[in-house]
Amino acid sequence: MQGFQDMATIMGNLNALAGGLFIIAAVGIVATRQVGACLKFFIFQSIFLAASAFLLGARPFSTHLMAVGVINLVTKVMFLPWLLRHLLKEEVYARREITQVVSIPTSLIIALGLTIGAYFFSLPWLKAAAVTGAPRINVPVGLAGLLLGAYTLTNRREAVPQLLGLLAMENGAFFAGVAIAPDLPLIAELALAFDLLILIFVVGVLTRAVHERVGTTAVGALAKLREEGHK
Amino acid sequence: MSKRILFNVLQVLVVMGFSPLAMGVLNRFKEIVQSKQGPSIFQPYRDLWKLFSKDEVVPEESSWIFRVTPYIVFVAPIFVTLLIPVLTDYPLFWAFMADMVGAGFVLALGGFFAALAAVDTANPYGPMGASRTRMVGFLAEPIFLIVFFTVSFVADSTIPFIVQQKWVTPISNFFEPSHILLLIAFVMLILAEKGRIPVDNPSGHFELAMIEESKDLEYSGKGAALMKWGGWMKFFVLMIVFLNVLLTPWGLASTLSWEAVLLAIPLVLIKILLFIVFLVFIESSLAKLRLFRISEFMSAAFVIAVIAMLTSAFTQ
């Protein structure tokens, strides 16, 4: 019985650790210059999300959460990077983005403020609802992931990091979701995963077209509309 | 009681005796990774012997600060050694003299005097290095404080001997997110504080790019020996704090007997050897950051430390 208790505590702690690393990966997406490194941070973030789903689903055993973890691993860790790599040229990933809207140390401080804000706003609500256990850990982390993803969208100018910011927001929502609604129908998860791939496909093709026409993927710099044939 | 005093003195002797060896091993490993043969691991001892038997030259224009600094730099890590668990997992005689914040203060005092002495001689490179060290130092300060606050919040104490017990009793505490994240932040701190790659290149001899090394350019003879030895001891002490207080509080003596304490010495050295291998891995796989990128490195460490604090403060 004692061993059982210990194991449960260790798994709770590991889930919290996955949460902490999840936030750090989100901060990494905000703050890294190189587009390729940004993509790696997103992959790490998805791995931590899957880890949290597996840890929560292991005891008591839940097929739904395990399936969520597997869907995450397959779509976000394996298929998505493969798709992005094939849609866009290698040159896009090697590019360093030096014209972020806010400088990196400042945006790290802002990211920190957003994280603290996520804890600050979600915890009173969780305490009022007398929630204990996993949601206490996952909801603030998920909210922080959501806010950091939104910040990435506003701060980055390259197309791929912007897309990753959007996906990081989705990851954050999922991170909170696996704890709050562990019994979400599997069909919803599958539909979402499929939607995600369509989204990446569309954005990827669009970025590719932009890259071919304008010669850059810094979509933040595109301010004017151009008409066809007006070269 | 007399044993507790003796063990405490023994700790100091271990740190004094083995810190040059740790440095020698680190340098040798790095050279081997770079496909060179490298100096013997006992080279730091020979350097010390050479410097101690040489004459000392002191610039005429320098003030008393220049002469006092080597002694302060040498003594500061020794004071800290009295406060931290090097060999035992129970408090020794001087353990309650100061807590971790006090130990950090004593170490910072050594750095402060080293910076003053570098400015004192008006050598053009000294003040430049000193001001850069201060820049890294003041970026490291908030991280130090947040790490200490988190540790004391989790362990309800700031005495290193007591904190050390907390992470392994029960063992599930080891996997607490705040613990693991603190470790990451602390490794980044050690790299910054001791001027290792990626913050500074310790083997560089180009004065314009130096950060940590340029402070003792003007010293010769005994002064240089004390400065170097003090620096190595500070590095050793930081590694001991990281390994014995934060990461692996195992392998330490738990009884008040000579056998247990003497057995702890090789175990601690093995832990340090493993950590050195890890450091060599980091130093050989990263490039030195440009000066103004250091603030990004430090703010990343700061973010990790604060997230460690958040996850410990709110999940309980």
Nearest Cβ partner of A20 from B173, B181, B302? Answer: B181
User: How far from the centroid of its chain's Cα atoms is residue A213's Cα?
Assistant: 29
Q: B72-108, pLDDT tens digit by residue?
A: 999 999 999 999 999 988 888 888 888 888 888 898 8
pLDDT at position B228, please? 92
Say yes or no for a CB contact (<8 Å) between A10 and B306: no
| Sign of the four-CA dihedral B16, B17, B18, B22 | positive
Which of A86 and A4 is assigned the larger pLDDT? Answer: A86
Q: Contact at 8 Å (CB) between B63 and B120?
A: yes
| Per-chain mean pLDDT for chain A | 85
Q: Contact at 8 Å (CB) between B221 and B56?
A: yes
Q: Is the pLDDT of residue A1 over 60?
A: no
Contacts of B22 (CB under 8 A, 6+ apart): B232, B235, B236, B239, B272, B276
Residues A31, B192: Cα–Cα separation, whole Å: 19
Query: In B, which residues are within 8 Å of A21 by CB distance?
Result: 177, 181
Q: Is the pLDDT of residue A230 over 60?
A: no
Say yes or no for a CB contact (<8 Å) between B307 and A9: no
Nearest Cβ partner of A10 from B175, B300, B308? Answer: B175
Q: What is the value of ipTM here, to two decimals?
A: 0.86
Residues B220, B206: Cα–Cα separation, whole Å: 19
Q: B169-218, pLDDT tens digit by residue?
A: 777 778 888 888 999 999 999 999 888 888 888 777 777 777 877 777 88
Give the 3-state secondary structure of residue B253. Answer: strand
How many CB pairs (< 8 A) connect A and B? 71
| Per-chain mean pLDDT for chain B | 89
Q: Is the pLDDT of residue A214 over 90?
A: no
pLDDT at position A201, please? 84
Q: Is the pLDDT of residue A231 over 60?
A: no
State the greatest distance between any 2 C-alpha atoms of chain A, in Å, as a whole number.
76
Query: In B, which residues are within 8 Å of A104 by CB distance?
Result: 296, 299
pLDDT at position B315, please? 60
First to last CA, chain B: 39
Contacts of A168 (CB under 8 A, 6+ apart): A26, A29, A42, A45, A145, A148, A149, A152
Residues B241, B196: Cα–Cα separation, whole Å: 17
**A144-148, A212-216, B153-157: least confident range:** A212-216
pLDDT at position A73, please? 92
Pick the closest to residue B279 from B84, B33, B14 (CA basis): B33
Q: Can you say whether residue A133 is alpha, beta or left, with left for phi > 0 and alpha for psi between -120 and 50 degrees?
A: left
Q: Contact at 8 Å (CB) between B309 and B189?
A: no
Using omega within 30 degrees of 0 as the cis cutoff, is the peptide bond preceding B198 cis?
yes
Nearest Cβ partner of A108 from B172, B176, B303? Answer: B303
Once rounded to an integer, what is the mean pLDDT over residues A187-206? 84
Nearest Cβ partner of A9 from B172, B295, B308? Answer: B172
Mutation to test the B interface, candidates A5, A10, A11, A102, most B Cβ within 10 Å = A10
Q: Is the pLDDT of residue A40 over 80?
A: yes
Rounded to whole angstroms, what are the CA distances from B213 to A129, B40, B196, B203, B218? 56, 21, 10, 9, 11
Q: Is the pLDDT of residue A220 over 80?
A: no
Q: Is the pLDDT of residue A2 over 80?
A: no
pLDDT at position B250, please? 83
Q: Which residue of A has its CA nearest to B184?
A: A21
Residues B209, B214: Cα–Cα separation, whole Å: 9
Which residues pair with residue B88 across a beta bridge? B253
| pLDDT band per the 50, 70, 90 thresholds, residue A70 | very high
Residues B43, B53: Cα–Cα separation, whole Å: 16
Q: Which residue of A has its CA nearest to B170?
A: A6
Say yes or no for a CB contact (<8 Å) between B307 and A23: yes
Give the 3-state secondary structure of residue A96. Answer: strand
Nearest Cβ partner of A137 from B300, B308, B315? Answer: B315
Task: Compute the nearest-CA separation of A121 from chain B (Å).
Answer: 12
pLDDT at position A227, please? 65
**A150-154, B233-237, B249-253: least confident range:** B249-253
Q: B38-75, pLDDT tens digit by residue?
A: 889 999 999 999 999 999 998 888 899 999 999 999 99
pLDDT at position A226, please? 66
B286 touching chain A per CB within 8 A:
no
Query: In A, which residues are within 8 Å of B171 by CB distance?
Result: 6, 10
pLDDT at position B32, please? 93
pLDDT at position B225, please? 94
Q: A165-194, pLDDT tens digit by residue?
A: 999 999 999 999 888 887 777 888 888 888
pLDDT at position A150, please? 94
Q: Is the pLDDT of residue A228 over 90?
A: no
**A144-148, A179-183, B228-232, B294-298: least confident range:** A179-183
- Provide the residue type at B223 as one letter: G
Residues B144, B192: Cα–Cα separation, whole Å: 11
Give the 3-state secondary structure of residue A155. Answer: helix
Domain ranges of chain A: 2-221
Say yes or no for a CB contact (<8 Å) between B314 and A140: yes
Query: In B, which residues are within 8 Å of A116 by CB distance?
Result: 306, 310
Domain count, chain B: 1
Binding-site residues on chain A for chain B (CB distance < 8 A): 6, 9-10, 13-14, 16-17, 19-21, 23-24, 27, 31, 104-105, 108-109, 111-112, 115-116, 119, 123, 136-137, 140
Say yes or no for a CB contact (<8 Å) between B315 and A136: yes
Contacts of A191 (CB under 8 A, 6+ apart): none
Q: Contact at 8 Å (CB) between A44 and A25?
A: yes
Q: A20-37, pLDDT tens digit by residue?
A: 999 999 999 998 888 888
pTM of the predicted protein model = 0.89
Query: In B, which residues are within 8 Å of A111 by CB distance?
Result: 303
Q: Contact at 8 Å (CB) between B136 and B298?
A: yes
Say yes or no for a CB contact (<8 Å) between A115 and B177: no
Which of A53 and B167 is assigned the larger pLDDT? Answer: A53
Say yes or no for a CB contact (<8 Å) between A13 and B172: yes
Q: In terms of residue numbers, what domain contains B263?
A: 2-315
